[in-house]
Amino acid sequence: MVGIVVVSHSRKIAEGVVELAREMGGDEVLLGAAGGTDEPDALGTDALRVLEAINDTYSDDGVLVMMDLGSAVMSAEMAVEMLTEDRRAHVMLCEAPLVEGTVAAATAAKLGRALEEVATEARGGLAGKASHLGVGSSDASNGFERGPLVDEGAPVESRIVIDNPLGLHARPAARFVGTVGEHDARIEVENLTAGRGPATGTSLNSLTTLGIVQGSEILVRAWGPGAEAAIAALEELAGDNFGDPMIDEPPDDRGPAQFDLPEGGVAGLAASPGVALGAVRHLRRADPDVPDHNSDDPEHEIADLEKATRGAATEIEGLRAQVARNAGDYEAQIFDAHLLMLQDESLRERAASLIRDKRSNAANALWTVVQESAAELESVDNERLRERSGDLLDVGRRVVAHLMDQPPEVARLDQPGILVIRELTPSDAAGLDTDMVLGIATATGGPTSHGAILARALGVPAVVGLGDSVLAVAEASDIIVDGDRGIIIVDPSPAQREHYEGAARAQGEAAAASREAATEPAVTADGAIIEVAANIGSASEASKAVRAGADGVGLLRTEFLFLGRSEMPSEDEQREVYLAIARALEGRPLTVRTLDVGADKPLTYLHLPTEANPFLGVRGIRLSLAERDLLTTQLRALARVALAHPVRVMFPMVANLDEFMSARSVLQEALNGGKPVDLQLGIMVEVPAAALTAERFAPHVDFFSIGTNDLSQYTMAADRGNAKTALLADPLHPAVLRLIAETVRAAASYDAWVGVCGEIAGDPLATSLLLGLGATELSMSPPAIAAIKDAVRATKREDAFSMAERALECDSGTRVRELLREHAQ
């Protein structure tokens, strides 16, 4: 991977640009800051600091050096001269704009682009500067060409009736498209009930325009070598209701409030329950001011569009991770649909055609196609599917913002209040600061829009579809949002205010009661205590986990201490962070995963070689044992904390007993005859080999913690981060369940306990199954804790054991889910 060094007269600017680029490109990008001088607050540049940063980020793929001005260029040139001759040939100084160029370069580096290509992406960050310096883009690849179709022949056909209540809306449509992409086949779909189609099965937007709702019968045709397998997979997906839970949601035909409005009241649609009082805070979003000039270089415009699409994808992936942490993985799957919209073949081809045939600039072509496609969605005779047009416009705005070098507008407030906005997009909802946004009122949108779904998941009262009049309410005016009745009240009277303040107090008391119940132990119906813990990734999340009712921390990801810096954190620094987390837990156990990085998430100060397949390379415990100073320092820091607080340590990616025994010996060496420490030791069960040989580990470990995310992808040989294979990496597949059962069986023989810390631990549907398999600890994202504790209290172990036996006999994850739903009814 190409490394990137940022040289600035200001240390803060260099570090800030690196932070921004890492946010866009990801932690794995090799980034180094060389700002300022040895004097902390002095402005200037230092060739030795630049030299050090180049060496820290060096790889044989090369290093791109970004500079701000004046002596930064001179210092960078001097640093290159001081390099050894073999390294000097792989370093390039780039004249691109510092901030925009570095961000673009980081995105290209993450994708494994060559040094010249990374530099070209950087120069494209600001076309005016490149033009002024006489630098042209040499990257004419566009990535939009459709490959040859598979051989045609007689199609394989299937008629499928859609049973899930929400129809083929964005999330199930995304799963449909992802499943199609796994097979060497061309797929067409028709809605026989509505007489719409055919549409290609690889286009999310085309599929959505078919208006497929509950009860629709669709005809799926497939051609090519993988046709039969594709049809079978789609039939199985439909049998599982495309992964959608069979739950009741707000009906499509919900209309405005059907009662006498109070004085000052405006009727809308109830989107998220609860009441809120506050001052109006407007966020007005206009359509992007897209340029209409023609382009003389279509291939350059298409390359720019590809780059902007990648940048937008990186942002959306970040939003998905944020929503998964704050609201849960099911809600976060909304952004899987957004990613597929970006990858939509028909959109990209239509935009590329406008660029080539009409000489449109990339921003104008993309926005034209997005508006046309949104209009097609709005013509569908189904309210839920019409609302997907807002998602498409949201994605389009994000790409256009990248093309125009503008930051995407987000719904952030500087002061607490009621957010008033034309439409709440998923991106808006994902970025909500719930301490600032007390409630939401929108002019358009419906209760089943993705923005509304996320608002409900985040617990923010919302009323939508109020009409344009709400946008005319003066800034800072007092307003009440009644998300239960679907109304707002502008400038409420004293009596109205008193009434709703009482309702808000009652709402707060109910929430407090729910939180109080979450802080009580989770005890099964037959008296077994189950530890329900939190997965966290920073010190700031520890107190939030306690407030959410966590019985402890079942997984502390320590990577946040090691990534994004030029040197390893010291023992004292680590101790202070771990100690702060332990204190925040107030005596609850802290389970710490030792550093889990490797060639896919490299540490710049280790100079790790690039690996062809980093997920099967030197990572996790393998890296820690190869770089023992890392492990020794971390274990010493943890041992010091364990002198006064309950600490458990688990080693990641363990595949054989020798690795665990070696890590344990490192701990003994780290203690070096010091005070005895009550430190439980365990392993993460993520590699199938560890589960299959769990009886070898059981005499030596205190516990096993099953990371179902990695265990499922390694068991099924399917990357859970790849939309085309993610469905295969199913933690409820019987093969994964058998590995869990084997681990529990081995642990029971030696009185070791077994926990589960993958995403499935936070799914109430799976709670009784995991308890039936023998797990005694479940660890998850804090928002899921209350629901999981309720699920534990509703479980009888005798029933759970019986269901687990039945699940182990199933032949697919789909059938396991059917079994769990039957049991829940």
- Return the residue matching tokens 């999330």: 171
pLDDT of residue 64: 94
pLDDT above 60 (res 809): yes
Query: Region 561-581: what's the mean pLDDT?
Result: 87
Report the DSSP beta bridge partners of residue 417: 437
pLDDT value at residue 410: 58
| Over residues 597-610, mean pLDDT | 66
Residue 324 binned pLDDT confidence (cut-offs 50, 70, 90) = low
Which tokens is 104 given? 């673009």
Pairwise pLDDT comparison (607 vs 724), residue with the higher score: 607
Q: How confident is the model at residue 457 (pLDDT cuts 50, 70, 90)?
A: low
| CA nearest to 804, candidates 777, 770, 775 | 770
Which residue shows structure tokens 């699920």? Answer: 791
Question: Rounded to whole angstroms, how far apart are CA atoms 264 and 527?
Answer: 53
Q: Which of 152, 176, 155 is nearest to 164 (CA)?
A: 176
pLDDT tens-place string over residues 169-205: 656 776 787 788 778 888 999 989 888 888 888 776 5
Judge whether 548 and 785 are in contact, CB under 8 Å.
yes
- What is the rounded average pLDDT of the residues 563-580? 87
Residue type, 640: R
> Could you tell me the domains of the chain?
3-132 (3.40.50.510), 156-243 (3.30.1340.10), 265-285+410-501 (3.50.30.10), 298-403 (1.10.274.10), 526-824 (3.20.20.60)
Looking at residue 60, its pLDDT comes to: 86
User: What's 261's DSSP letter?
Assistant: P
Amino acid at 247: I
Which residues participate in catalysis according to the annotation? Answer: 450, 757
Can you give the pLDDT at residue 25? Answer: 57
Tell me: the pLDDT tens digits for 20-66? Answer: 777 655 667 889 999 887 766 677 888 888 988 998 888 888 999 99
Greater model confidence, 187 or 131? 187
Burial class (CB in 10 A: 0-12, 13-18, 19+), 781: buried
How far apart CA 674 and CA 639 sit, in angstroms, is 10
Q: Read off the pLDDT band of 332 (50, 70, 90).
A: low
pLDDT at site 514: 62
Q: CA separation (Å) from 803 to 194, 643, 769, 772, 824?
A: 41, 42, 7, 7, 11
Q: Flag whether pLDDT at 247 surpasses 60.
A: no
pLDDT score, position 52: 86
What is the average per-residue pLDDT within 300-323? Answer: 81
Q: Where are the beta strands (DSSP E) in 89-183?
A: 91-94, 156-161
Tell me the three state secondary structure of residue 43.
coil
The pair of structure tokens assigned to 309 is: 């699409």
Tokens standing for 170? 């964005």
Please check whether residue 93 is in contact with residue 73, taking contact to mean a CB–CB distance below 8 angstroms. yes
Choose between 117 and 451: higher pLDDT. 117
% of the chain beyond a pLDDT of 90? 32
Q: Mean of the per-residue pLDDT values for the chain?
A: 82
pLDDT tens sequence across 295-304:
888 889 998 8
In this prediction, residue 73 carries a pLDDT of 83
Amino acid making up residue 710: D
**Tell me, what's the pLDDT at 773?**
96
Q: What is the pLDDT of residues 81-116, one digit of tens each?
A: 888 878 888 999 988 888 878 887 887 787 677 898
Angle, vertex CA 383, rays to CA 380 and CA 387, nearest 5: 85
Model confidence over 689-701: pLDDT tens digits?
999 999 999 999 9
pTM of the predicted model as reported, rounded to 2 decimal places: 0.50
User: What local confidence, expressed as pLDDT, does residue 530 receive?
Assistant: 96
Yes or no: say if 221 and 227 are a contact pair by the CB < 8 Å rule.
no
Overall average pLDDT of the 742-767 stretch: 91
Alpha-carbon distance of 503 to 434, in angstroms, equals 19
Looking at 212-226, 543-557, 713-727, 740-754, which range is the least confident one? 713-727
Of 346, 328, 446, 334, give the one whose Cα is nearest residue 394.
334
Q: Is the pLDDT of residue 758 over 60?
A: yes
146: pLDDT strictly greater than 60: no
Q: How far apart are the C-alpha atoms of 196 and 802, rounded to whole Å?
A: 46
Burial class (CB in 10 A: 0-12, 13-18, 19+), 686: buried
Phi/psi at 532 (5° precision): -110, 110
